[in-house]
Structure 1
Amino acid sequence: MHLIELYKSVQGESSFTGLPCIFVRFAGCNLRCAWCDSEYTFTGGNPFTQEEVIAQIEALAPCKLVEFTGGEPMLHAKELLPLMDVLLTQGYTLMMETSGERPLDLVPKAVHKIVDVKCPGAGAAANSFRLSNLETLTKNDEVKFVLTNRADYEFARAFIAEHRLNDLAAGVLLSPAFTKNPSPLRTVENATLDPRTLVEWMMHDGVDARLSLQIHKFIWEPMKKGV
């Protein structure tokens, strides 16, 4: 498997926000979201065996929360799924950030999937979500929408209602996108959609979702890697 980086930080998103977490970031992505903040993962990376990845994770003990991200980790499913099985038997809590474009039916049910449904503002990646993946969702999982504007919000609101996402998953995340060229300031001014505006829409419409702010972009400078 090819990895871009493996490091320990705090979880910046989802219901695990703020918890110490080990991040295993895979190389490569088959989508090109207009707002992507991880373009450095598209190429490169270094090869690792399963044993080498586990050794690096163990070296970051005592942290027992691990997230697989990318890029798109499910492009490495052949290597990733057996790795998940081993880590689960060792008592780790596992998360995976995925676009939902790849089939998710073989992912162990114990893994907490954060599944990203692409909105129109994602550009070429919009409408890439594999609807059959809704059948794989459990109460361990969360569904995320990255929003750039009102049209994205309305798309997410309709999708949540149409597919009754809160009946399928543990919750829904609405996350304002960040500009691809942010200032070094740790401020909401770098968001393409003002979080306060988004909260006002959510409260007005009674949307059953959680605001997700990527807190690592407020703890460190927004473009900082490995945090």
Structure 2
Amino acid sequence: MHLIELYKSVQGESSFAGLPCIFVRLAGCNLRCAWCDSEYTFTGGKPFTADEIVAQIEALAPCRLVEFTGGEPMLQARELLPLMRRLIDSGYTLMMETSGERPLEDVPVEVHKIVDVKCPGAGAASNSFRMSNLDVLTKRDEVKFVLTNRADYDFARAFIAEHSLRSRVAGILLSPAFSKDPSPLRTTENATLDPRTLVEWMMADGVDARLSLQIHKFIWEPMKKGV
């Protein structure tokens, strides 16, 4: 497998936010979201065997929560899926951040999938979600919408209602996009959609979703890597 980085930090998003977590960031992505904050993953990376990855994870013990992210992890599904099963059988709790553009039916059911449905503000990557993946979502999983403006919010609200997401998954995340060229200040001024505005829309519409603020970008400077 080709990895960009492997490190321990705190989980910044989802219902696991704030928990110590080991991040395994895989190289490569087939989408180009307009607001992407990890373009450094598109190419490069270094090859590692499954044994080498497991050894690095074990060295970061006693943390037992592991997230596979990218890039797009499912581009390396052939190697990733057996590694996931190995870690699950060893007692780890696994998460995976994915765009939902790749098929997800073969992902071990124990994995907590965080699936990103691209809104219009994602640009060329919008409408890339594979609709058949709705049928494999479970109450372990969460669906995330990255929002840049009101049009993205309206898209997310309609998608949530049309596909009865609340009955399918553990949670729905509405996440304001961050500027691709943020200031070093740990402030919401770096968000392209003011979180307070988003909360006002959510409250007005009674949207049953969770505001997700990527707390690692408020603990450390927004462009800092490996955190």
Question: Shorter-normalised TM-score: what interval?
Answer: over 0.9
- In the alignment, the residues of structure 2 paired with residue 145 and residue 164 of structure 1 have an alpha-carbon distance, to the nearest angstrom, of 15
Deviation at 1:88, TM superposition (A): 0.3
Deviation at 1:64, TM superposition (A): 0.0
Deviation at 1:135, TM superposition (A): 0.4
Deviation at 1:57, TM superposition (A): 0.1
**Partner of 2:62: helix, strand, or coil?**
coil
Deviations 1:51-108 (A, max 9, x none): 0000000000000000000000000000000000000000000000000000000001
- In the alignment, the residues of structure 2 paired with residue 14 and residue 199 of structure 1 have an alpha-carbon distance, to the nearest angstrom, of 17
1:107 and 2:110 aligned = no
Deviation at 1:206, TM superposition (A): 0.3
**Partner of 2:32: helix, strand, or coil?**
coil
1:129 and 2:162 aligned = no
Provide the residue aligned with 1:172 in structure 2: 172
Amino acid corresponding to residue 84 of structure 2 in structure 1: M
Amino acid corresponding to residue 75 of structure 1 in structure 2: L
Deviation at 1:114, TM superposition (A): 0.1
Deviation at 1:158, TM superposition (A): 0.1
1:145 and 2:154 aligned = no
Provide the residue aligned with 1:3 in structure 2: 3
Is there any run of 5+ residues in structure 1 with no aligned partner, and where?
none
What TM-score do you get using the length of structure 1 for normalisation? 1.00
Is there any run of 5+ residues in structure 2 with no aligned partner, and where?
none
- In the alignment, the residues of structure 2 paired with residue 136 and residue 183 of structure 1 have an alpha-carbon distance, to the nearest angstrom, of 39
1:81 and 2:75 aligned = no
**Partner of 1:53: helix, strand, or coil?**
helix
- In the alignment, the residues of structure 2 paired with residue 60 and residue 206 of structure 1 have an alpha-carbon distance, to the nearest angstrom, of 41
Deviation at 1:121, TM superposition (A): 0.1
Provide the residue aligned with 2:12 in structure 1: 12
**Partner of 2:146: helix, strand, or coil?**
strand
Amino acid corresponding to residue 75 of structure 2 in structure 1: L
**Partner of 1:68: helix, strand, or coil?**
strand
Provide the residue aligned with 1:56 in structure 2: 56
- In the alignment, the residues of structure 1 paired with residue 118 and residue 174 of structure 2 have an alpha-carbon distance, to the nearest angstrom, of 11
- In the alignment, the residues of structure 1 paired with residue 11 and residue 71 of structure 2 have an alpha-carbon distance, to the nearest angstrom, of 17
